[in-house]
Each structure stands twice: as structure tokens, then as C-alpha cells.
Structure 1
Amino acid sequence: MRTFSCQCGNTLHFANTRCVVCGLMLGFMPDEKKLSAFTRHAEGVWRAADNGRLYRQCINYSVQDVCNWMVPAEESGDLCASCQLTRTIPNLDQPENRQLWSRMEQAKRRLLYTLYKLELPVVSRYQDPQHGLGFEFLEDETEDDYGNELTVKNFVTTGHNAGIITLNLREAEASSRMKIREEMNEQYRTLLGHVRHESGHYYWDRLVRNSHWLSEFRELFGDESLNYTYALQNYYQNGPTADWHKVWVSAYASMHPWEDWAETWAHYLHMVDTLETASDFDFSVSSHQVIDPLQQLPQSDEARSAAHFNQLYNDWCRLTAVLNALNRSMGLDDAYPFVLSSSAIDKLRFVHKVISTAYSNPN
């Protein structure tokens, strides 16, 4: 994630809504992939300092205060490109749910920023009612236990189904998420990680299923036609394979080829977004300048694509060594608590190739 500049010269960050120096309202323009300062043009209409065009605030910005994206004035509808993808929001009669919803939307917007920068197809449910991308932020259904306390009646499972990504609201509570992480013996669990992972399932359907990539996918990840329900039950009953780290990017990736792909996809998005941040801050490690992988986008030419991935991966190894060392100096967990095997690297390289082709042939 890069930073942006206000018309006054102040540095702006992706989630900002007001410049702390000049006081102007800020908004993200998805059509420009930029955060800009705005001045009021007319009632409900704002002019962007960055490009001079007119915009309206997303209604979830102006009314709900859970968004900071803008809608081009010539477009119909009250929702921005991000909020249009949200099909179900939490019950706002519960006061704490607004903040949890806001955290989920922020994670989704960060995901979309990277997808847009990679020029991957983002097709909404309005465009494709059967298979378009959509998000549902749901709560566990509870019931009163003899007037004493609430007990969970129906659990919401975080997952993906035919383009719909469902997230359990508990994942937006740091304490609940940490509890789940410890219970499941996971190294890493974040909202952003969830949406990146689940988007991997969506893009497997769009980019790999029924494509020329399928045979190479199966060589690397395995046969996805294996019974998913059985694999899931086996994983939670018996745990991952003892030597999972020799083959997979994470323990959960060993559960089924679909999960292996989704975990690898998420790690690739972790890499390119974090490297863009480091590059934006002019970061270098041992005299090696970090290159912005979202500025030098993937190339469809095989040799250039391979060289681009090698640069990306080498920068990532150097950067994460520093990130982890800095975290340890602060008494924190490693920022990237993974060691990538040669097999996991080959899978990341495959994700890179798929994205390279999608970028070069967006239709």
C-alpha cells in the first residue's frame, strides 16, 4: 500500500478521511486508485484536488462513517465500488457492531486496492448475479439460555461459495480472533488475511477452473476433485501432515488443493502489497533497493515474468527478515512467521504467472 499526497503537500494514508494539516476532506477515487483532498462544489458534490473531477461521498461515508471512498458524480447509485460488493452488513442495533463492520470494510478495501493495481477482474453480483463477487458480514445466531446468558445457536462459517465471501463478525474482534488462532494453533490470523484467502477461491473459479492452467495447477497443488468434505474433516480430526512445511506455505494449505491455492494466493497478495509499501518509503536492505511490484506489473512474456518474480521474491526474503527482527525488538510476534519451501515458492511462481496472463488479457 502506497501513501498519497494532499494538495498542501502533507502525506496521506489510505484510511484517512481528513488532512491534519489543511483540514480538507479526503476521499479515495477507485477510478484513479488514489486518495485525494476534496473541496465542496455544491450540495453533496465535491471536487477532487487531484484531477478536478466531481464526486459524491459513498453513503457509507457520509451517513455511516465506515467508508472513505467516493462515487463519480456522473454515476448513479449511492454506494462506492467497494460497498456495492457488500450484500449483508451486521445488525447496527448492536452499538459495537458498527466498529466491527468498519474494520471488515477496511480490510475489503485494502484487498480491492491490490486487485485493482494488478488489474484483475472484479465482477460484482450486479454484473453477474450467479457468480459475481459479493461479501456478507454475519454474526453467530444466539439464543437466551433460560434468561441467564446467550448461547450460540448457529455458527457463521467464514468461507467462499460461488463468489460470495462470508466473514464471521467475531473475526473483527481482536480478542476473539486471537482466541481462535490459539485454539487452532495458527501462526497468523487477520481480517486482511481472511479476505485475501477467500478471494483466492473466487479467482481460482475465474482464472484456473476450466482453463489451460488446470493441468499445471494439478501438477503443483494436486487433484482438486478429491472429496473436500472428507479432507476438511480429516484435517480437523487429525491435523496437518507432520512435514507440511516441506510442501505447503502453511499448515492449513495441506488440507486440500483448493485451500493450498487460496493460501498461496493470499501470501502472494501479502508480498506485493507489503513490497509496494516498502518501496513507497524508499526502503532498501543491505544496499538492495526494494522494487515496487505493483509499479512494474507482471509481464505475460515468460522470461520477463520469471525475472519479475525472482526480483519480487528476493526483495521479499530480505524485507521479511528485517520486519521480523524489528518486531522481535519490540517484543512482538514475527510479522511474517513463515519459511517458504521450494515447493511453496514454485506455487507462488505459478500464481504470479496466472496473474501475469490475467493482467495482459483482462477480458
Structure 2
Amino acid sequence: MRTFTCQCGNTLHFPNTKCMACGLTLGFIPNESRLSAFIENANGDLQATFNGKLYKRCKNYSEHDVCNWMVELDDEHEYCESCRLNETIPNLDEPGNIKLWYKLEQAKRRLLYTCQRLELPIIGKGEDPERGLGFAFLKDQTQDAYGNELTVKQFVTTGHANGLITINVNEAITSARMEMREKMGERYRTLLGHFRHESGHYYWDRLIDDSPHIDEFRTLFGDERLDYLAALKNHYDNGPPENWQETWISAYASMHPWEDWAETWAHYLHMVDTLETASQFEFSVFGNRVANPISSEAHRDNDYSAITFTHLFNDWCQLSTALNSLNRSMGHDDAYPFVISISALNKLRFVHNVIMAN
């Protein structure tokens, strides 16, 4: 994730809505991948200082302040490209849900930013009801009292089905997410990680299924036609295989080839976004300047494959080692508590090559 610069020279960050130096309104312009300041023209319209074009705030920006994306003034849509993907939002009559929705939107927009930078297809269900991408933010409905009994009405499972990514709103509650992490025996569980993982399932359908990549996928990850429900039951009944670290990037990845792909996909997005951030701040580790993995100079190079991925991965190994050491110095858990085996590395390279071939 890059930082941005206001017209006054102040540094801006992706979620910002107001420049703290000059006071101008800020908004993200999705087709430019740019956060810009805006001034009001004589007609009261918002004009971007970045490109001089006229825009309006997304309806979820102007009414709920959970968004900071803009819509071109002559666009018939009230909602931005991100908010148009929402199929279900939290119940706004319930106290606290606005704050949780804001956190969900921030994670979703960070995912979409990276997907845009990687030139991945983002098509909503309004355009393609069958294969389009959508999001549903749902909350557990529990503990309804009937007499002396408490009845659980509904638990929401975070997951993906036919392009619809469902996220349990409780994942935006830090204490609830940490409690679930402990119960599941996980070393890493973040809201952004959920979005990246579930997007992996969506892009498997778009990029791998019925594509020239399917045979290589099955060679690396296994046959996805294996019974998923049986694999799920076996995983939760018996846990991951011994020495799973030698083959998979996480214990959950060992459950089924689909989950192996989604976990590997999520890790690739972790790497790309963090490396872009480090490059923006001109990080160097052991004298090595961290390269931007999705700069305009590197992306779409005809030979952007194994050698460039090796550079990306080497930078990641050095950077993640430094991040973990810094976290330990502050008394925190490792920022990236994973060891990547040769098998997992080959899968990451496959994800990289599929994205570049898109």
C-alpha cells in the first residue's frame, strides 16, 4: 500500500478523509488508484486537485462516513465501485455496527486496491449475477430468550460461494477474533486476512477452474475434486497431518486443495502489499533496497515470471525477518509467524505466474 501526497505537500494515507495540514476534503479515485484532495468550484462541485475532474462522494461516504471513495460527477451511480459490491451490510439500527462496518470496509478496500494494482478482474454481481463478486456482512443472531431457555437463531460462517464473500461481522471485534484464534489454535488471524483468503476462492473460479492452469494446479495443490465436506470433517476431527509444514503454508491449507490455494493466495497478497509499503518508505534490509513488486515498471513485463518472483521472495524473506525482530523488541508476537517450505514456495510462484498471465 502506497502513501499519497496532498496538493499542499502533506503525506496522506489510504483511509484519510481530510488533510490535517490544509484542511481540504480527501477522496480515493479508484480508476486512478489515487487519494486526492478536493476543492469546491463555483457550482459547489468537488474538483480533484490531482486531475481537475469533478466528483461526488460515495453515498456511504456522505451519509455514513464508512467510505472515502469518489464517484465521477456524471456517473449515474450513487455508490462507488467498492460499495456497489455490497450485497448485505450490517444492521445500522444496532448500536456499534457502524464502527464495525467501517472496519470491514477498510479491509475490503485494501483488498480491492491490491487487486486493482495487480489488474485482476473485479466485476460485480450487478454486471454478472452468476460469476460476479459480492460481499455480505452478517452478524450472529444469538441468545433469544423463550421462557427460561436461550435459543441460538443463527451463526454466520465466513466463506465464499458463487462469487459471494460472506464475512462474520464479529471478526471486526478484536476480542472476539482473538478468542476465535485461540480456540482454533491459530498463530495468525486478521480481518484483512479473511478478505484475502476468501478472495482466493473467488479468483480460483475466475482464473483456474476450466483454464489452461488446471493441470499444473492439480500437480502442485492436489485434485480439487476430492470430497470437500469429507476433507473438512477429517481436518476438524483429526487435525492437520504430522509435519504439515513441509508441504503447506499453514495448517488449514492442508485440509483440501481449494483451501491450500486460498491460503497461498492470501499469503501472496500479504507479501505484495507489505513489500509495496516498505518500498514506498524506501526500506533497506542489510543494505538491500526493498523493491516495489507491483510498480508500473515491473508489472506487465513480458518476462515477469520466475526471476522477478525470486527477487520478490528474497526481499520478502529479508523484510519479514526484520519485521519479526522488531516486533519481538516491542514484546509483540511475530508479524509473520510462518516458515515457507520449498513446496509452499512453488505454490506461491504459481500464484504469481497466474496473476501475471491474467
The two structures have a TM-score, normalised by structure 2, of 0.97
Structure 2 Cα separation of the partners of residues 150 and 195 of structure 1: 32
- AA matched with 1:119: E
Residues 47, 306 of structure 1: CA spacing in aligned structure 2 closer, same or farther, 3 A cutoff?
same
Superposed CA offset, 1:72-121 (max 9, x none): 11211110000000110011111201100110011000000000000111
1:34 Cα deviation from its structure 2 partner:
0.4
Q: Using the alignment, how far apart are the partners of 1:300 and 1:226 within structure 2?
A: 36
1:86 is the counterpart of 2:78? no
Deviation at 1:150, TM superposition (A): 6.2
| 1:74 counterpart letter in structure 2 | D
1:186 maps to a residue whose letter is E
Q: How does 1:132-281 map to 2 (within 5 A)?
A: 132-146=132-146, 152-281=152-281
Distance 1:125 1:304 in 2: 32
Output the amino acid matched with 2:249: V
Q: Distance in 1 between matches of 2:214 and 2:154?
A: 36
Counterpart residue type for residue 193 of structure 2 = G
Change (3 A) 1:351 1:323: same
Distance 1:320 1:9 in 2: 31
Give, as a single letter, the amino acid of the residue that structure 2 aligns with 1:170.
Answer: N
**How much is the aligned-residue C-alpha RMSD, in angstroms?**
1.4
Counterpart AA for 2:265: W
Flag structure 1 segments of 5+ consecutive residues without an equivalent.
359-363
Q: Which residue of 2 aligns with 1:308?
A: 308
Question: Which amino acid in 2 is paired with 1:9?
Answer: G
Deviation (angstroms), 1:43: 6.4
Hey, what's the Cα distance between the residues in 1 that align with 2:218 and 2:315?
A: 28
SS in 1 for 2:55: strand
Instruction: Could you tell me which runs of 5 or more consecutive residues in structure 2 were left unpaired when the two chains were aligned.
Output: none
Counterpart Cα distance in 2 of 1:3 and 1:264: 26
Cα pair 1:264 1:347 within 8 Å, conserved: yes
CA contact (8 A) 2:249 2:264 kept: yes
Partner Cα separation in structure 1 for residue 86 and residue 147 of structure 2:
34
CA distance in 2: counterparts of 1:135 and 1:99, whole angstroms: 17
Deviation by residue 1:206-227 (Cα, 9 ceiling, x = unmatched): 0000011000000000000000
Structure 2 residue 3 is the aligned partner of structure 1 residue 3 = yes
Q: What's the offset of the Cα at 1:243? A: 1.0
Task: Report how far residue 193 of structure 1 moved.
Answer: 0.2
Change (3 A) 1:73 1:227: same
Structure-2 residue corresponding to 1:353: 353
Mapped to 2, the partners of 1:304 and 1:81 lie a distance apart of: 29
**Counterpart amino acid of 1:216?**
E
Q: 1:278 to 1:256 in 2, by over 3 A?
A: same
- Does structure 2 conserve the Cα–Cα contact (< 8 Å) formed by 1:6 and 1:19? yes
Counterpart of 1:61 in structure 2 is 61
Aligned residue in 2 for 1:322: 322
| Preserved CA contact (<8 Å) 2:144 2:153 | no
Alpha-carbon distance between aligned partners in 2 of 1:92 and 1:149, rounded to the nearest angstrom: 28
Q: Name the structure 1 match of 2:103.
A: 103
Tell me how far apart the structure 2 counterparts of residues 151 and 341 of structure 1 sit (CA, whole Å).
Answer: 46
Letter in 2 for 1:132: G
Between 1:289-298 and 1:54-63, the stretch displaced more is 289-298
